[in-house]
Structures are given as C-alpha cells and as structure tokens.
Structure 1
Amino acid sequence: MPLLEAKLDRAESEKIAKSFMRTKQFVPTKSHPGAPTSSPLAEGLAGLLAAPVDKLRTLMEGFPDEETKSAEVDWRSLL
C-alpha cells in the first residue's frame, strides 16, 4: 500500500478509499465456498444475498456471553 499511496495524489487516494468502503458494505464477511463462480452476475448476486446474513451472524457470534449464559432467569417475571 505505501507504494500505491506514493503514486496517488490525496484526492485520488480519498476517492479510492471511499469507493472501497462503499463496496465493503455489500460484500460477504465470511467465505462461501459453495457460492457460484460461473459468472460475475451470479457471484455478485450471491454476495449481495449473503452479506446481510454474514453481518448478522458476526453480530450474534458473541451472544450470549458466558455471564449471561450462567445467569439464572426467573421466567415467571417475563410472563
């Protein structure tokens, strides 16, 4: 990256960084070996469908934490 940064002016670098961050929102965060690779359209569509599921999965990976798992719950109070 330092070699690339040296060749770009600040405006180009910021433009590329914004584009990368925008693209990053729409790509999966986990690997999907069974996803189609036959065409860019199929690959892109599979990625768009998988991305929100991956983000939710990442969010839920640490839930519940050990403290929450071991806590006693008074289920009657929830009714």
Structure 2
Amino acid sequence: MEREQVREHVLNIIADVALDDDVTTIDDAVALRDQLDLDSMDFLDIVMELKKRHKIEVPQEDYPQLASMNSCVEYLTPKFVALA
C-alpha cells in the first residue's frame, strides 16, 4: 500500500473522530494535537478505529509514533503492507 493511501485511511479515521475539525488543512509535519482539538479519549478512539477497520494494533508504547501525520504514515505503512 502506498504512503498516500495510508494517509487517506488515517485522515478518514481522524475525520470521523474529530467531527468539528477540518482535516483538509492538516500539516503533516506538525503534531496532530497541536492542530486539532484532540484529547486523550479522541486519540484512543483513533487507535481503536485502526484496530476495528484495518486490524492494526498499536501497542501503548508506540503511541508517540502517531504524533504527526508524517510519523503516523511512517509507522503504519509497513503494518498496512503486511495486511495486503
């Protein structure tokens, strides 16, 4: 799976979790929490949606890897590829 496809999957999940935020303006290099109104429960919802929709489990010690869109895509791309 291409990085752009992984990014789209993550954006779709964020859009469903952060209903009031405009995900089209996300700067991939900036921490998501600095750009969006995400609290810790929203973040956990994103992790749970990754598991529910794509069967990707993110261990708690890897949560920092999901800080920005760039780091999300970097971390998740191999996991999506493994599912293909």
Query: By the TM > 0.5 criterion, same fold?
Result: no
TM-score (norm 2): 0.25
TM-score (norm 1): 0.26
Q: Higher RCO, 1 or 2 (CA under 8 Å, sep at least 6)? A: 2
Return the index of the structure with the highest Cα Rg. Answer: 1
